[in-house]
Amino acid sequence: MGSGQFKDKVVVVTGGGMGLGKAYCKAFADEGATVVCPDYNEEAAKETVAEIVVAGGKATTMKVDVTKGDQVEAMVKAIIAEFGKIDVLVNNVGYLKRLPLLQTPEETWDKIIDTNLKSAFLVSKAVAPHMIERKQGKIINLSSVVGLVAVASPPYSAAKSGMMGLTRILALELAPYKINVNCIAPGFIRTPGSSAVHNSPVGRRVNEAVPLGTGNTDCIVPVVLFLSSPGADYITGQTIVVDGGFTAAHDFGDEFRTLDVGK
Ligand SMILES: NC(=O)c1ccc[n+]([C@@H]2O[C@H](COP(=O)([O-])OP(=O)(O)OC[C@H]3O[C@@H](n4cnc5c(N)ncnc54)[C@H](O)[C@@H]3O)[C@@H](O)[C@H]2O)c1
């Protein structure tokens, strides 16, 4: 168990059934929060809840597709009816299919934009009135380094850049109500769902290209907890890049760094 810093807080993590979302749910519960993890993969979300409950924490799940406005409205209504408030919202759901522009069908564009961007708009819009009423709240949006530099997938890149813009305007609109809205852009993070990629030859090349190597969920969890805490009360509208130095450096090797250009 942690220090109990989120005791009496109600935390909603969308897509808490797997990967990073699951890690946030477990960390918040460990710190005393009541965690709600809506996910359209009900089995996965139930597994997250079961692991939290076995460890002595409080958590619940609901089967929701957070790209659908009516389902999101019903979800928030149910959470407020049961718990009375939402202190922290983590807009975490994501979906990626790596295809180049000319091979990207319109449906794939729509699914990637809806999952990675529209969901954050819908859930924030439904949750914000309850935070405004209490004049407090923290919203954390999950973007990616692909929102900053070109790596793969036109719709994923567009959605993850969009998440940073959405963060800034929500931060401005909600600041009068003491609601902080921030964004995290993780780099290459090993999760159970992505370990096949990271273990492949191309995954090993990625690991070598990142100064601190491929990350894991423990690299992102403390940043989510910090942005959800009172310590971050004066931070809003920001994107925190947590990428092991990937966007800071392009390594052409010692030879290049010590190249004598003859001056
Ligand atoms: N893993 C990484 O390396 C990495 C890097 C940068 C950014 N991110 C971002 O972090 C977030 C989490 O990534 P992950 O790798 O843990 O993802 P993941 O694919 O392992 O898990 C996503 C979860 O969201 C759920 N979900 C997807 N669409 C949904 C919908 N419409 N309604 C309800 N639930 C839905 C899935 O069922 C799943 O449980 C995503 O936004 C992702 O883009 C991940």
The pLDDT value given to residue 194: 87
Domains of the chain: 10-243 (3.40.50.720)
Give the distance (Å) from ligand 1 centre to CA of residue 252.
32
Cβ 228 vs Cβ 6: under 8 Å: yes
Give the distance (Å) from ligand 1 centre to CA of residue 127.
20
The pLDDT value given to residue 161: 98
The pLDDT value given to residue 263: 66
Tracing tokens 């601190």 back to the chain, one arrives at 212
- Which residue numbers in the chain have pLDDT < 50? none
Cβ 33 vs Cβ 39: under 8 Å: no
> Which residues contact residue 30 at a Cβ distance below 8 angstroms, ignoring those fewer than 6 apart?
1, 2, 55, 57
> Which residues contact residue 151 at a Cβ distance below 8 angstroms, ignoring those fewer than 6 apart?
145, 157
Cβ 140 vs Cβ 235: under 8 Å: no
Sign of CA dihedral 70, 76, 82, 84: negative
CA distance 95 to 39: 13
Helices (H), 106-240: 106-113, 119-134, 154-174, 195-199, 201-209, 217-227
Tracing tokens 């699951």 back to the chain, one arrives at 22
Tracing tokens 């929060």 back to the chain, one arrives at 33
Ligand 1 contact, 18 CB (< 6 A): yes
Task: Give the count of beta carbons closer than 10 Å to the beta carbon of residue 235.
Answer: 15
CA distance 156 to 147: 8
Angle between the N-to-C axes of helices 119-134 and 69-83, in degrees from 0 to 180, rounded to the nearest 10: 30
- The pLDDT tens digits for 13-69 are 999 999 999 999 999 999 999 999 999 999 999 999 999 999 999 999 999 999 999
Q: How far is CA 155 from CA 152, 178, 226, in A?
A: 9, 32, 29
The pLDDT value given to residue 66: 98
The residue whose CB lies within 8 Å of the most ligand 1 atoms, and thus the one to mutate among 63, 93, 122, 216, is 93
**Selected catalytic residue, list 95, 156, 177, 234:** 156
Catalytic residue status for 156: yes
Give the torsion through C-alpha atoms of 223, 183, 90, 122, to 10 deg: 180
First to last CA, the chain: 59
The pLDDT value given to residue 88: 99
